[in-house]
Amino acid sequence: MATSISSIEIITALVAVYGAALSTIIFIKDQNKHKRKVTIKLSNGFLTSDRGLSDPMLIFEIANPGQKSVTLVGPKITLPDNKSMFFPEIGSIVRFPATLEEGKSIQAWIKISDLKAELVRCGYKGTIKLNYSIDDQTGKTYNGKKSLNFPVTK
């Protein structure tokens, strides 16, 4: 004996599935809203002032697109052998550790010539791949999306 499903039962089932999916999406968005989010990018550039352009710099652009403030320890570079370089005297308009409020960004920079000299001193040659990141004071690391091919020596 075959049973038939009425159109009301089909509509009820579709509304239930839609409601479950919608509540899951809202739950996930609400959970993500309360997470700390930090993005970091690295580029080459120059600083400007009334005296002209600076020496060539590596510039870290650090942003907080989240809805929670985050306290950042400072940017670092990871070398091909997984050693990390920290910069206690990094140039910036803030002093690290620094609190980055939601929706704000900061920049930090280092002279390319200083980085090259330190890499040569540590025995690196040619072009190496640099990865970059920044840690917060809870120990979470926010990694840059792209690595940088950096010419140490020609």
Is 126 among the domain residues?
A: yes
Is 2 among the domain residues?
A: no
Same domain, 92 and 105: yes
Is residue 33 within a helix (H) or strand (E), and if so which, with residue range?
Answer: helix 7-33
Same domain, 19 and 67: no
Q: How far apart are CA 21 and CA 108, in angstroms?
A: 43
Q: How far apart are CA 86 and CA 106, in angstroms?
A: 17
Same domain, 21 and 43: no
How many other β-carbons are positioned within 10 Å of the β-carbon of residue 90? 17
CB-count exposure of residue 64 (10 Å: 0-12, 13-18, 19+) = buried
* Average pLDDT estimate for 46-61: 91
**pLDDT above 80: residue 63:** yes
Q: pTM of this prediction?
A: 0.76
- Give me the count of residues in the chain: 154
pLDDT digits (tens, 9 = 90+) for 90-131: 899 899 999 999 889 999 999 999 999 999 999 999 999 999
Residue 25: domain span: 7-35
Same domain, 50 and 115: yes
Is 77 among the domain residues?
A: yes
Average predicted confidence (pLDDT) for the chain:
89
What does the DSSP 8-state code read for residue 18? H
